Amino acid sequence: MQIVLPDGSKKELESGATVADVAASIGAGLAKAALGGVVNGKLVDLNREVADGDEVSIVTNKSDEALELLRHSTAHVMAAALVDLYGDVKFGVGPAIENGFYYDVMLDHTLSIEDFEAIEKRMGEIIAAAEPFERKVVTRAEALEQFANQPFKVELISEMPEDEEITTYTIGSFTDLCRGPHLPDTSKIPAFKLQKIAGAYWRGDAEREQLQRLYGTAFFKQKELDEHLHNLEEAAKRDHRKLGRELGVFMMDDLAGVGLPLYLPRGGRIIRIMQEWLRKELYRRGYEEVITPHIYKADVWKTSGHYDFYKENMYFFNINEGTDEQPRYSEYGVKPMNCPGHVMLYRNDVHSYRDLPVRFFEFGTVYRHEMSGVVHGLMRARGFTQDDAHIFCRKDQVVDEVVAILDMADMVMGEFGFEYEAEISTRPAKSIGSDEMWEYAESALKEACEQRGLAYEINEGDGAFYGPKIDIKVKDAIGRTWQCSTVQVDFNLPERFDITYRTADNTEERPYMLHRALFGSIERFLGILIEHYAGSLPLWLSPTQAVILPIADRHKDAAYELAGKLRAAGGRVEVYEQNEPMRVKVAKAQAQKVPYMIVLGDKEVEEGTISVRERTEGDLGTWPVEKMADLLRDAVV
């Protein structure tokens, strides 16, 4: 038989050959490095047979698919270790995930991090034994009998389609229900670490059994594992929830509800600075600010399509618009998006082709019903504010408008020192709009990126049902990627709200509608900034830019006089007048990540100077007051 290699060449093999045989036929080095294969686009075990005409590539530890193999296999080793240590363990599911793996388990023993050492030791012994992962195809009856004491596995087996192949994998004395694939044997697991324990409801249903979820990770090199663990430690130090609380930026209160941040004065100031900075730029670029309600009658959401397709993520309620004697109830919905309001504002006027583009922007607060399990500080909240904009333009203006949006995104990311990349998501299987509209929109997004010199990846079929999009993904100080800015083409809302413009030929045409966000969610962007800068925000964005530290009570008057001068220059300045030792005042300012500390004593008051400390550089020496005033004046947005 013949199989096809990734370069298009063909290889002759005996019938019944496996992926391992393919690797060996190419070379001894590849055969030694092989961990699995990809056959006709599907990841498979190394000992899986191939057929005539199959397209085959070999997976080594350098392949994109390798970590999935490694981590899924390590999850099985962990499960085997749990059985050896604790006996009767009921298993849920144990998949590989983005940065590791987990297994959901039920057992009498309550696991804790103190158990990790024993579990890891037993896992190491299983790995050292080089136990092969043995795959077996079983009948439904055999599977139900084999896993009769595993209720969660029995439930999964019972729900499998009649024609689905059922397989098990065995290492040593441990057998698990699993589709696979896996590494050839356990010795191929070179570096692993258990990380944490959490609770998890079976199948995510709060009405079902609560299991223990044991997380871990694995890498092909100890160095890579060590770097990953270091980055996790660094991420924990930078956690915006921790820093946000310590810096007095925001708080959460169960009384208010899950996922609804409350901004403290420092946080409120940061948010307003961000908005004002962007607002000035938007006005300069021809945008017009609008303000829309937080709630609309359900009719709006029915017209937009949200009522049919997004209702489970929204908050609806009834209002009596009649009297107590003759009630007349109307249904209202809290907005999850700002788009319908902007479309209605466009529809309020008659537009000529000469009027376009029309660019509306709004810092609009929206509310979405996120499950409590996925709410995460500012990164994923139920109430948040979008720096939303919608551009209504002619077809011939789309490219220029997208280029201008990408230019603004570059300005925003450059201001914060973010490296970024672009991803264009194309037409999904279920979509609206003609082929011509999709082809034009996708080509327009690509052309705009090319005009900007912005490299992009294509994410096939991941566009919204209403149009393609560009997502801007930034990389933070510790290498994590976050999706922030976006620009989307929308064929849906112009059609649903029946908006048009008058052409030069005096006919009615539908405008192209572009959705645009630069920060995205301002809450989420602020969370990213806090973690990116480890709380030490840039001078222009810091809620307090300088603190004045009078050495003694006799210097307080001079401190407040100085604060007045610096505030007149636009600076955000505080005076630490408490009767505390200077080292305590300095430590307090350092803990608050204040950029500058100004020390005032007898010498400074007499000479009309200031002693300056910077939060990272330390003592900067003696400055004239005007130097600090100029510095703060230049930082005004």
Domain count, the chain: 4
Average pLDDT over residues 262-273: 96
Per-residue pLDDT, 16: 93
- For 409-456, the DSSP string reads HHHHHHHTT-EEEEEEE---SS--S-HHHHHHHHHHHHHHHHHHT--E
- What is the C-alpha separation between 512 and 488, in angstroms, rounded? 10
Q: What is the pLDDT of residues 386-401, one digit of tens each?
A: 999 999 999 999 999 9
CB 523, CB 275: distance < 8 Å: no
Residues 474 and 551 in one domain: no
What's the burial of 327, exposed, middle or buried (CB within 10 Å: 0-12/13-18/19+)? exposed
**DSSP secondary structure letter of residue 141:** H
Per-residue pLDDT, 589: 94
In the chain the first and final C-alpha atoms are separated, in Å, by 70
Q: Which of 498, 532, 566 is the last residue of a domain?
A: 532
Residues 181 and 46 in one domain: no
Per-residue pLDDT, 433: 84
Average pLDDT over residues 82-109: 95
Q: What is the pLDDT of residues 64-79, one digit of tens each?
A: 999 999 999 999 999 9
Average pLDDT over residues 214-239: 94
Residues 52 and 70 in one domain: no
CB 90, CB 123: distance < 8 Å: no
Per-residue pLDDT, 392: 98
Q: Is residue 133 part of a domain?
A: yes
Per-residue pLDDT, 170: 97
Per-residue pLDDT, 324: 87
Q: What residues have CB less than 8 Å from 263, skipping those under 6 apart? A: 249, 250, 271
Q: What residues have CB less than 8 Å from 164, skipping those under 6 apart? A: none
Q: Report the CATH number that the domain containing residue 37 is assigned in CATH.
A: 3.10.20.30
Average pLDDT over residues 470-490: 92
Residues 72 and 209 in one domain: yes
Per-residue pLDDT, 636: 87
Per-residue pLDDT, 374: 87
Per-residue pLDDT, 335: 96
Q: Is residue 181 part of a domain?
A: yes
% the chain with pLDDT above 90 = 91
- What is the C-alpha separation between 338 and 389, in angstroms, rounded? 9
Average pLDDT over residues 196-207: 91
Per-residue pLDDT, 398: 96
Q: Report the CATH number that the domain containing residue 623 is assigned in CATH.
A: 3.40.50.800
Q: Is residue 124 part of a domain?
A: yes
Average pLDDT over residues 561-580: 94
Average pLDDT over residues 293-311: 94
Q: Report the CATH number that the domain containing residue 72 is assigned in CATH.
A: 3.30.980.10
Per-residue pLDDT, 128: 97
Residues 124 and 13 in one domain: no
Residues 480 and 347 in one domain: yes
Helix (H, G, I), strand (E, B) or coil at 557: helix
Confidence band for 126, pLDDT divided at 50, 70 and 90: very high
Number of neighbours of residue 198 by Cβ within 10 angstroms: 11
CB 483, CB 473: distance < 8 Å: yes
Average pLDDT over residues 257-263: 95
Predicted confidence (pLDDT) at residue 465 exceeds the cutoff of 90: no
Residues 215 and 74 in one domain: yes
Residues 550 and 503 in one domain: no
- Alpha-carbon separation of residue 616 from 593, 596, 597, 634 (angstroms): 9, 9, 11, 20
Q: Which of 532, 558, 573 is the last residue of a domain?
A: 532
Residues 70 and 196 in one domain: yes
Q: What is the pLDDT of residues 1-39, one digit of tens each?
A: 999 999 999 999 999 999 999 999 999 999 999 999 999
Confidence band for 373, pLDDT divided at 50, 70 and 90: confident
Residues 75 and 191 in one domain: yes
Nearest to 126 by CA among 82, 72, 66: 82
Angle (CA) 478-481-486 rounded to 5° is: 140
Q: Is residue 241 part of a domain?
A: no
Predicted confidence (pLDDT) at residue 109 exceeds the cutoff of 90: yes
Average pLDDT over residues 496-525: 95
- What is the C-alpha separation between 91 and 153, in angstroms, rounded? 7
Q: Is residue 330 part of a domain?
A: no
Average pLDDT over residues 334-354: 96
- Alpha-carbon separation of residue 280 from 12, 119, 288, 527 (angstroms): 67, 57, 11, 23
Predicted confidence (pLDDT) at residue 536 exceeds the cutoff of 90: yes
Q: Is residue 540 part of a domain?
A: no
Average pLDDT over residues 192-214: 93
Residues 187 and 55 in one domain: no
Q: Is residue 44 part of a domain?
A: yes
Q: Is residue 323 part of a domain?
A: no
CB 413, CB 474: distance < 8 Å: yes
Q: Report the CATH number that the domain containing residue 373 is assigned in CATH.
A: 3.30.930.10
Q: Which of 181, 211, 228 is the last residue of a domain?
A: 228
Residues 360 and 269 in one domain: yes
Predicted confidence (pLDDT) at residue 384 exceeds the cutoff of 90: yes
Predicted confidence (pLDDT) at residue 478 exceeds the cutoff of 90: no
- Domain that residue 123 falls in: 66-228
CB 250, CB 260: distance < 8 Å: no
Active-site positions? 339, 368, 386, 388, 390, 469, 515
Per-residue pLDDT, 187: 96
Q: What is the pLDDT of residues 402-450, one digit of tens each?
A: 999 999 999 999 999 999 999 999 999 888 888 999 999 999 999 999 9
